């Protein structure tokens, strides 16, 4: 294992780029951010000033050309991911890329092929795998603590819908929001999904429907091992960010609920109540964001596989495509209807 600091470059200084820069600056002494780039140079300069990053650029080219930078974090918009993965792989950089890799299977295949040719490491940003609550659910399944899994239920509801302009470029509900739940389903059950059926509609914001998307859905998953799963999604929950999981097994069940700002319960003669859940994903998943970067750095320094692979990123997108096809065609869609393409 290497004992020196890993030099990292960050591409994208938006919300998640800033979070990762703070992790590297304040919580991960094994690595340092040598440079940050963003087309909005002022945003990059602000992050650099806060996190002590020595080099700021308005383009990713400088980071990719810097031989001292061994790994890059791709935190830019989705439409740039595949090209940046290819360029980073060709430059010999290890790669962490936020989800999704791309909206097109062909683009994902191209990116994963470049990674395979270069022999670099790639990790996809499915941060929820690193959440302590969900990790405990997975442990209960893999250890046999609850017996053989039978049913899985994931609830994922946002506190407020995104702007319609974002919906148009983000890939829509299935490739932007539900994609986390698709990955979580595979992670928790430890098996592949063979069939998907979607029921959904536009119940929150008509403008989302006008943008060609839906905002409310229930997705049924049938796994190869027989487990039946459901994913319950909505773009708006009046009470806040709702993130819950339950798995029923032959020996029992395990469930995990929402995170709250405190555990206080107020009891009066009229009611018993507690504060609302943490507001949104940045607050709810703070620790998981730090943990995924810690694991990425460790995989490079210890020369071991990354915990979330390019193939994980590919399969989640394929599941999103199948879910949308099911919704459009009003039928169950088997995963083997879709071309799997590259894996790695």
Give the pLDDT score at 279: 67
Q: How many CB atoms lie within 10 A of CB 263?
A: 7
Average pLDDT value over all residues in the chain? 95
In DSSP terms, 246 is beta-bridged to 153, 255
pLDDT single digits (tens) 22-78: 999 999 999 999 999 999 999 999 999 999 999 999 999 999 999 999 999 999 999
The reported pLDDT for the residue numbered 285 is 86
Q: What is the pLDDT of residue 344?
A: 37
Any idea which of 74-83, 140-149, 182-191, 265-274 has the lowest mean pLDDT?
265-274
* pLDDT tens by residue, 309-334: 999 999 999 999 999 999 999 999 99
100: cis peptide before it, omega within 30°?
A: yes
The string of DSSP letters for 71-109 reads EEEE-S-HHHHHHHHHHHHHTT-EEEEPSPS-SSHHHHH
Predicted local distance difference test score (pLDDT) of residue 262: 86
What's the rounded Cα separation, in Å, for the pair 188 and 170?
Answer: 26
Residue with tokens 């071991």: 304
Question: Which residues on neighbouring strands pair with residue 156, listed in sequence order?
Answer: 233, 243
Q: What letters, b where the CB count within 10 A reaches 16 and e where it falls short, cover 114-149?
A: bbeebebbbbbbbbbbbbebbbebbebbeeeebeeb
Tell me the mean pLDDT in the region 77-89. 98
Residue 66, φ and ψ in degrees, nearest 5 = -80, 110
Confidence label for 268 from pLDDT (cuts 50, 70 and 90): confident
Q: How many CB atoms lie within 10 A of CB 334?
A: 13
Is the four-CA dihedral 155, 259, 275, 283 of positive or negative sign? Answer: negative
On whether the pTM is more than 0.85, the answer is: yes
CA 267/CA 323 separation, integer angstroms: 43
> What's CA 120's distance to the chain center, in Å?
21
Handedness of CA 298, 299, 300, 303 (dihedral sign): positive
Q: Is residue 99 predicted with pLDDT exceeding 90?
A: yes
Give the mean pLDDT of 255-275. 87
Q: Could you give phi then psi for residue 97, rounded to 5 degrees? A: -130, 130
Residue with tokens 């709250």: 260
- Residues 203-242 have pLDDT tens digits of 999 999 999 999 999 999 999 999 999 999 999 999 989 9
User: Percent of the chain beyond pLDDT 90?
Assistant: 87
pLDDT at 122: 99
Mean pLDDT of 198-202: 98
Q: Mapping DSSP to helix (H, G, I), strand (E, B) and coil, where does residue 128 land? A: helix
- Give, in order, the Cα–Cα distances in Å from 264 to each of 238, 252, 275, 277: 21, 29, 8, 12
Return the pLDDT at 341.
40
Give the confidence band of 343 by pLDDT, cuts at 50, 70, 90.
very low
Which domains are delineated in the chain? Answer: 6-128+288-309 (3.40.50.720), 131-279+314-337 (3.30.360.10)
What's the rounded Cα separation, in Å, for the pair 83 and 296? 21
d(CA 162, CA 241): 13
Confidence of residue 342 (pLDDT cuts 50, 70, 90): very low
Between the alpha carbon of residue 337 and those of residues 124, 148, 229, the distances in Å are: 24, 28, 20
Work out the pLDDT band at 258, boundaries 50, 70, 90: confident
């Amino acid at each position: 294992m290497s004992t020196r600091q890993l030099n990292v470059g960050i591409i994208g200084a938006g919300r998640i780029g800033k979070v990762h820069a703070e992790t590297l600056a304040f919580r991960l002494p094994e690595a340092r951010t040598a440079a940050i780039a963003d087309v909005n140079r002022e945003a990059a300069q602000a992050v650099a000033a806060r996190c002590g990053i020595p080099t700021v650029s308005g383009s990713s080219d400088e980071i990719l050309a810097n031989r001292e930078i061994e790994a890059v974090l791709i935190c830019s918009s989705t439409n740039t991911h595949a090209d940046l993965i290819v360029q980073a792989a060709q430059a010999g950089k290890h790669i962490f890329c936020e989800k999704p890799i791309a909206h097109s299977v062909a683009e994902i295949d191209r990116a994963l092929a470049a990674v395979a040719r270069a022999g670099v490491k790639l990790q996809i940003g499915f941060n929820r795998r690193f959440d302590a609550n969900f990790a405990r659910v997975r442990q209960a399944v893999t250890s046999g603590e609850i017996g053989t899994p039978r049913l899985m239920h994931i609830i994922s509801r946002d506190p407020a819908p995104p702007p319609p302009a974002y919906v148009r470029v983000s890939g829509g509900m299935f490739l932007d929001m539900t994609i986390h739940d698709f990955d979580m389903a595979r992670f928790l059950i430890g098996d592949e999904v063979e069939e998907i059926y979607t029921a959904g509609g536009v119940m929150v914001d008509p403008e989302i429907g006008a943008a060609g998307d839906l905002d409310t859905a229930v997705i049924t998953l049938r796994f190869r091992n027989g487990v039946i799963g459901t994913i319950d999604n909505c773009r708006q929950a009046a009470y806040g960010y709702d993130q819950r999981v339950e798995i029923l097994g032959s020996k029992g069940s395990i469930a995990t609920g929402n995170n709250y700002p405190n555990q206080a319960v107020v009891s009066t003669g009229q009611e018993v109540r507690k504060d609302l859940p943490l507001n949104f994903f940045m607050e709810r998943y703070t620790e998981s964001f730090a943990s995924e970067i810690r694991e990425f750095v460790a995989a490079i320094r210890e020369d071991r596989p990354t915990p979330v692979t390019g193939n994980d990123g590919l399969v989640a997108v394929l599941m999103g495509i199948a879910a949308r096809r099911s919704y459009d065609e009003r039928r169950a869609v088997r995963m083997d209807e879709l071309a799997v393409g590259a894996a790695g």
